[in-house]
Structure 1
Amino acid sequence: MRRKWWIAGLLQALAVWNIIEAQIRYTIPEELNEGTVVGNIAKDLDLKLSEVFERNLRIASESGKQYFGVDSAKGELVVSERIDRETLCSQSATCLLPLEAIVENPLQLYRVEIEIQDINDNSPVFQNNEKVLNIAESTAPGARFRLESAKDPDIGSNSLHSYVLNKNEHFILSVKNKDGTKIPELVLEKALDREKESSHNLLLTAVDGATPARSGTATIIIRVQDSNDNSPVFEKPSYKTRVPENTPKGTVILTVKAIDSDEGVNSELTYSFEPDTPMSIQHVFSIDSELGAISVKDVLDFETVSSFKFEVIATDKGASPLEGLCSVEIEILDVNDNVPEILLKSVPKPVREDAPLGTVVALIGAKDSDSGENGKVHLRIQPGLPFTLKPSISNYYALVTDSYLDQETFPKYTVEITAQDSGSPLLESKTQISVDVLDVNDNPPVFPHSSYTVYVKENEGAGNVLFTVSAFDPDQGENAKVSYSVLDSQIKGISVSSYFYINSDNGSIYAMHSFDYEKMKVFQIQVQAKDHGSPSLSSNATVHVFILDQNDNAPAVIYPSAVMGSASHQRMPRSAKAGHLVTKVTAVDADSGHNAWISYRLAEAADASLFSVNLHTGEVRTKRSVSEQDDSSQRLLIEIKDNGEPVQSTTVTVDVLIEDGFHEPVSDYRKKSAEVSKKSGKITLYLIISLASVSLLCLMTFFILLVKCARGSRGSSSCCIRRSESGYKNPNRNLQIQLNTDGPIKYVEVLGGDMMSQSQSFGSYLSPMSEFSDFTLVKPSSTTDFTDTLNVLDASLPDSTWKFESQQVRINAELICTRE
């Protein structure tokens, strides 16, 4: 418990920092517990607490061990592993642990030094707990006997301070200082007398200078021998040599030699390492005990130890062996035997493809344990990459961009880094790092085609998928994720969104409701593909939608009209002959193409032998002459069918009233008039005058109509058909107006079309027996006016003027004018 309080107090007293040449230094004692705070490194680096996490502040150590870490919550440098100063720095007076503080965005490197101060955690220790000395009884007082020095790994006041010898009658302790090492010597103060006492046991205690002090003991056994009064003497007090670090094992590098002036056994010598020689030296070198030859025992490594100093003892073989001592110094010469090491000080960051030139990708260091030219390292990367190495501080390089990147072409680069030293021969090492290129939204979605054509049947149910568009975006992630939408536009004054819905994820276009070909035949929509990048990019495609006609309309009867009841009433004279035109049934079908081809047939008749219906024109004619026996009232049921699938049909009922003396043919009337004219010339004269008057009146009426048509060409009451003002936009259709006369029925047909498409027919009928207007303009359906009907005519034929194929149309032009 005392030790903990002492360490805490020492920590508060010693944990100081200062910045020396852009370096931060902290001083701490060794053996601190894990988690102990060394200092607020964030504050010392002038970093905000938020930057500690955002810029990834971390500590790197060249030693490979992570003795320290950073508390990202507080920005404090804390101990993460127990630190033993003696393991790190041995006996060095100053123990500095170099660290590197690294932050990113932007990438910066700071030098941090931790000075590890010693604490008294080691006691002095003798390598041999027992020392035996053979001392001749003839040895004169004042003789000195070297004892083994105690070792204390601590330094300063915590290291070995003094020795204490237990009280005895013959010996005192003397301590001499050699190169900073305290060497105890046993001094004979009073002559020995073997006959009185043949051996002596002494206790040597080594004490350090700390408070409280630590100590270690060794037993010294003195054996009193007979005289051997000459000690071995080396030819030189010290030996020095230099050897390269790649010297093979077993090579003799030095031979020491000593001479003993005694004779016989007392002059025979053996060589050995001084007892205090560290085991690390004895593992590397060996000495021939007879010859004194020192040879290499293990691999030499200049980078580990650059020189060795130790002592060699020559001991004679006398009854009371005497020793001689010399020092040996071996200097190790560096050889280029270490391959350069590449150090990645930061994980390569992914780089945006629009990164500016000079963007730092990674910080790379180089290290070579050799010295001099052997330790100078140069880095390079393979050519052809958009990166370069830019020298930074010390042996550090920054990997930066030196040309523009394109993620779609090269999403990832493998950079091979080569480190080469300047030694002879040259040594090099290689490593590879991967640099990912981050995508930037620089590509808009692309449709395979700029326009698409879709065919849709009318009356299809709502919710069906009409078509699917797809766009490709070469970007990645959110930048490549495409959403689809229909650009807002108007279709007949209604927003396109009322007609269609598009799945924003897969581009499927759905119909919001069914379509009617008769109302809408073709339209187009604009589809937009938009990516999810920032800012987002988009492109458009046009979808042309054509509605395909289905046979969903039954023929509509437009003549004869049955406004007065469920049946149409027609009159005919009983004098009608075979082929007499009773009436003409006219129907139209709002569908198009084959679906609008109409045929007529007589479904029911009171007398099927009397009437027939033309399959294509709908003309109702007599098959024979009317007889007196035929009923005066005949009912006909006429069925009208189209050519679609399935067939649509409708029926019309025509009641024919056969009357006697009803409007005889014009030819008979003229015959009677001729007979009358023969009888009376006066009547003829009246007729001539009447005819001239009527002709003049017709001519005046014709001119009046022309004037009125010219003035009111834009009015709805215009009687003349004007192609340029009718709203008819398609001049590529031949229209024909034809006047037909058959008996008492006169009608005008406006025909257009050809055999490849459904003809449209407009007729005006004049019947002298009609109950209604003498002139009726018939339209194809109640929902389509004359102008609209002309607009839907086939536009495939070349432009042509309307042809009036019947001269009777020109003669009777007044018939195609509407009554005021």
Structure 2
Amino acid sequence: MVVATDADGPEFGSLLYSLSDGFDMQDRHPYFKIQPRTGELCVSQDMDRDSGQTIHDILIKAEDPGGLSAQTYVHIEVEDLNDNAPVFDPDRYAVSISSHAPPGTEVLSVIATDRDSGRFGRVTYEVLPGDMSGSFTLDRQTGTLLLTSTLTHLGAASVKLSITARDGEGLTSVRPAEVTINVLSSAQAPAVFRRSRYTFTVPEDAPPGTPVGTVEAINPADSDSVSYRISSGDPQGLFSVHPKSGLITNVQRLDHESQPHALLVLQSHTASSPVHSTTQVTVTVEDVNDNAPVFPKPGDAVTVSQNALPGTVLFIAHAHDSDSGANGRVRYRLKSSGDGMFAVDRERGTVALTQSLRAGRRQSYSLDIVAEDGGELPLSAAMTLEVRVDRTAAEDGLAFETLVYQVEIGEGYRKDSRVIQVRAHPSRGAHAPNSGVTYSLEAEAGFPPAPFRIHPNSGWLFLSHNLDFETESTFRFRVSATAGNATPAEATATAAVVVLVLDVNDNPPVFGSEVYYFTVSEGASPRGLVGAVEATDKDSGKNGQLSYILLTDGKFFRINAKTGEIINWVALDREQHGQHRLTVMVTDQGHPRLNATATAHILVTDINDNAPQFTHLPASKELHVQLWAGVPAGSLVTTMFAKDLDAGENGTVTLSMAAAELRVEGSGHFEIDGETGDIRTTEMFAGSAESRYALTVTATDGGVPPLEDAAVVHVQVRLTSHFLPRIHRF
């Protein structure tokens, strides 16, 4: 409840309360209303702090029957309630792991978010008890699942786990995350890395060829040598690994400012294992002090009244240093302090007046502001600030409390939100009434139009349009104060206003394409990098930091969480699975997290890894046929069928034949159609004795090099003079 008093009698002392927009108009607030006679401020509808604005500044106007009024602000902060349970997104995960993976291997990470704030939104994770839950451990804070014991006893199996999320007040997720872990068994154990994670550091000024670190995998079968390769995480090709020693080196110049760290996924493989072992290598590119601070421009100028009081802030210097840590920490100092009239705050860069300007006669001062970083060998930059003294200002002229106002506001604030109040007073007597002062805004050259308006009497700034950090993150304009009953010399004062717009997570990630198409060759060993999906996020900082998650087909493929590179880590067989459909999710790190999904179609291309097979013959690959000697030329003896599981030319079969007569009365009695496989006679059989022929039929595919298979057709020619020509097969 708000209460205003009026000293008038009953006729003019009864008050009516209303919500005001600050410009003498009634305001309809979406969440609040006021009882006009009692001043009770009430909520007009349900509020959700987690999806709306958390702070409201309400301007309330009290007006008497005579038209006189007063205004006051009520600051309302919406308190959070624990009305949201953690939610997994996604809530189903699938991944594969080798049965030979050592304890400590990272399996996957689950993600749950809670829209509440503070302890209500702090999420921890827990594996629900189950048959195989004891073989895994879960990092309660990060949701990372780790292997705690070997799985070799399982062979090829599928393990199901359920993971629940709990907030800081004990509210648990309605649905747990369902995790399917496919355990892959191979007759030959793969080479296994000694560690599931490696961490190395290299300075950014390291010349190409500098050793970064060494990984090592142990091969249970000493007969095969282990080979290493970087499968993902290095799209710019900054690093390489020696295929035999496992030594990682940089092959290009590094730059901490553009890439402070790399998350490499390395594979170890042997010729005899169809499964690769993987490890994650985090390479931190250590910052060196190779960037000096930079001012936006080499010089600037301000005008200050000779009546400005000591302590008045005249200017805010800001220099940016791209380095990190102490190398990027900027401090300010004055190289020339203008006869001790000015001082700069070392941390904030605010330049303030330390003495009165009235006693002096100088028309201007030139200040050299130096920005210096905190590197071991510090680097610096300088700018010149010209301070012009207005000697025409009257002794009792107007002056703002500061010549530069700087305020930060989130882009989520709604239109008509209160931003900051500027105030100007007569130079003498800072507490003198200033009811006759009116305020207005002036644009500043080189900056976009400011989406603000100012109350002419109170000096409060309000949002006139919604903000969008991605469109414009900084506004600079000037505010002018004018005294109504003053001489022209006393009439006006100006100050600068800088508004920094803060990013909120209002943009979801967007994939470059809804559907991606990749091809990868089948083979006896995994192929490594298949391709990459890519998403962008217009937001900044953590709101724009992306992580990729593979939602399906984790048996054959994995994805680099940082780069979106899809990796094949289990050997592919086109004849078993000719294509794979993967669903990929990308999520940002904002609160709440926003995400998007895309589909990747992976076509497995053929290699000539299958020989033709005579599928209609027994294991001996022999066929016995007999026919009568009187059959005419061109008679069908038998038909041979050969099938090749490969595709294209690799699966195109041609048949040929060679004859070896066991009892020969003539040659060239048979021929074969290379396409249909029909074997026919080429002439009449003559003679008084039976003949036997062994025909070797070869099926050859069109691959390079070609593969083939052979079968033998045994033909017995029987003599007869009593029956019509006919063919028997047995």
Quickly name the TM-score band, shorter chain normalised: 0.3 to 0.5
- Structure with greater Cα Rg: 1
Q: Which has the higher helix share?
A: 1
Between 1 and 2, higher relative CO (CA 8 Å, sep ≥ 6) is seen in: 2
Q: Given the two structures, how large is their TM-score scaled by the length of structure 1?
A: 0.43
